[in-house]
Amino acid sequence: MYTTQIWLIRHGETDWNAAQRLQGWRDIPLNDTGKNQAKSVQRFLDQQRIAFDGVLSSDLQRAIQTAQIAFAQHQYPIEQIPALRERNYGIYEGHPWQSLTQLPNEPAPKINLRDPNLDVPEGESLLTFHQRIIEAFNQIALQRPNQKLAVIAHGGVIEMVWRYIQQADLSTPRPYKIVNASVNHFAINQEQQWQEIAWAQVAHLDHLKD
């Protein structure tokens, strides 16, 4: 039986992250903070001395730039996979996310993007996004048995993986924040069983708070 190990890394910060605007498929580059976060990922992974078999990335530039910086000292080609993109928020991209998401102890917004079945004009529902991400990682594991892979993607991608591993309902509030440049380690075996190994690793970013 094979097991594919995946280190799933969120891209560094962009100006839209800082402004708390929905990015989705909008191709927003890293800001200076995001570039420094990516360098911190590089140091973290180098300290772990992981012999990766490959580096994969969403095809959006904030993920690609993070991968390029984090692996600048290595010779890994970065394979871009469109299926690892953030959720497509359609007409709502660029809007403040707080105005479109049901928050604890807050009045329900007119549009709640946390509704799994909500059809987003020119975008995708949360359920469709979830299915896309799970299928993408199962395919990655099938094509790369027994490999150790770094995957640079997005906060929504990390959330969908976490929910699948924990069997958490899509509408259940998430109990933790997904930090830019956080590192998450999980595995998928031959039976497409997923296992969390180390989640929401952020200590490598502490020095950036000073």
C-alpha dist (Å) from residue 121 to 88, 89, 113, 189: 10, 8, 12, 36
What pLDDT shows up at residue 174?
Answer: 86
What pLDDT shows up at residue 136?
Answer: 98
What average pLDDT does this structure show over 95-105? Answer: 69
| Residue with token string 């097991």 | 3
pLDDT, tens only, 169-191: 998 888 899 999 999 999 999 99
Look at residue 102 and tell me whether its pLDDT is greater than 60: no
**Domain architecture of the chain: domains with CATH:** 3-148+161-190 (3.40.50.1240)
What average pLDDT does this structure show over 19-23? Answer: 93
Supply the angle between the helices 155-166 and 126-143 in degrees, to the nearest 10.
Answer: 80
What pLDDT shows up at residue 107?
Answer: 61
Phi/psi at 71 (5° precision) = -120, 25
With the C-alpha atoms ordered 127, 56, 8, 72, is the resulting torsion angle positive or negative? negative
The answer to whether the CB of 6 falls within 8 A of the CB of 50 is: no
Q: What is the pTM of this model?
A: 0.93
Element (H, E) at 198: strand 194-201
What pLDDT shows up at residue 108?
Answer: 55
Task: Write b or e for each residue in 157-185: b if 16 or more Cβ atoms lie within 10 A of its Cβ, otherwise e.
Answer: bbbbbbbbbeeeebeeeeeeebbbbbbbb
One-letter amino acid for residue 153 of the chain: A
Q: Which residues are catalytic?
A: 11, 86
Look at residue 204 and tell me whether its pLDDT is greater than 90: yes
